[in-house]
């Protein structure tokens, strides 16, 4: 299956300033990036079952998934669901890339 996105970015909204900067760098390198707040991604999310969309994007449609892990990330249900999906579909092949923003670890059951 061909990937729809080169990279999907998973993050807590409190960390969106950093993630938006990374998004712009990746786009400048001409990568296809799923970044939920981006206008081009809003049409994907609009009127759809969010759980199914995230399962498709973070589980199948992205070549790599970057998790921006922080104290905010690990307490939010949506980012943690994105992480679970990513690890369940990509685990062990090096395509899930955790970025530890503030030293907060992912729960051991994900790793």
Averaged pLDDT in 10-residue chunks for the chain of 111 residues: 84 97 98 92 76 88 96 96 92 90 93 77
The torsion angle over the Cα atoms of residues 11, 76, 42 and 18, rounded to 10 degrees, is: -30
Structure tokens at 43: 């049409």
Q: Which of 31, 2, 96 is nearest to 58 (CA)?
A: 96
Collapsed DSSP state (helix, strand, coil) of residue 5: strand
Q: Is the Cβ–Cβ distance between 5 and 34 less than 8 Å?
A: yes
Q: What is the pLDDT of residue 2?
A: 61
Q: What is the pLDDT of residue 53?
A: 87
Q: What is the pLDDT of residue 104?
A: 97
Q: What is the pLDDT of residue 34?
A: 94
Tell me the whole-structure pTM to 2 decimals: 0.92
């Amino acid at each position: 299956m061909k990937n729809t996105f080169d990279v999907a970015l998973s993050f807590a909204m409190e960390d969106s300033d950093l993630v938006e900067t990374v998004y712009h760098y990746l786009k400048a390198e001409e990568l296809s990036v799923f970044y939920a707040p981006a206008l081009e991604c809003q049409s994907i999310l609009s009127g759809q079952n969010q759980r199914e969309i995230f399962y498709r994007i973070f589980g199948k449609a992205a070549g790599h998934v970057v998790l921006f892990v922080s104290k905010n990330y690990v307490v939010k249900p949506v980012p943690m669901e994105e992480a679970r999906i990513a690890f369940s579909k990509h685990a062990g092949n090096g395509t899930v890339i955790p970025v530890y923003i503030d030293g907060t670890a992912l729960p051991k059951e994900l790793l």
